[in-house]
Amino acid sequence: MNDLAAVRAEILSAATEDLTGVYEAWWTANTMRPDLALSARLALAEESLWSLLSDGLVALSRGSWESQIPVPEHEVEQVLREYKTWDVDDAADRIFFEATAAGHAAYGLPG
């Protein structure tokens, strides 16, 4: 399994369990490939998340742990390009992802 497939599988697994901060995708890449440059690990996390979004397996939302709203499709690219999306400093305005019904099905779980 290549790096993209491995990180993609790991973050889809997290997305099927509960609401997951986008920064956790970066943490996953950091854990799985600590030998890569920091920028390469971030790129791997971003590419993995993009892949899941493109396949309709996860969806993004914005807010706090207590309350979120969906990120409109036309804003997804801009949101993922912002560094603050991948950081954990702003607890009131974080970007999250979670599995869609298709994501649950792809992972082998009921939708």
Residues 55/66, Cβ–Cβ less than 8 Å:
no
User: What pLDDT digit, counting tens, does each position of 58-84 carry?
Assistant: 999 999 999 999 999 999 999 999 989
What integer pLDDT is reported at residue 97 of this predicted model?
98
Q: Could you tell me the residue range of the domain that residue 46 belongs to?
A: 3-105
Sheet holding 68-70, edge to edge: 20-21, 94-99, 58-63, 68-70
pLDDT of residue 110: 66
Burial letters 16-32, b for 16+ CB under 10 A, else e: beeebbbbbbbbbbeeb
Q: Is 56 left (phi over 0), alpha (psi -120 to 50) or beta?
A: left
The reported pLDDT for the residue numbered 38 is 94
Helices (H) and strands (E) in the chain, counts: 5, 4
pLDDT given for residue 87 in this prediction: 86
Give residue 88's pLDDT band: very low, low, confident or very high (50, 70, 90): confident
The verdict on residue 110 lying in a domain is: no
> How far is Cα of residue 2 from the mean position of the Cα atoms in its chain?
18
pLDDT of residue 3: 93
For 2-46, the pLDDT digits (tens) are 999 999 999 999 999 999 999 999 999 999 999 999 999 999 999
Asked whether residue 111 is domain-assigned, the answer is no
How many domains, in total, are found in the chain? 1
Could you tell me the pTM of the whole model? 0.91
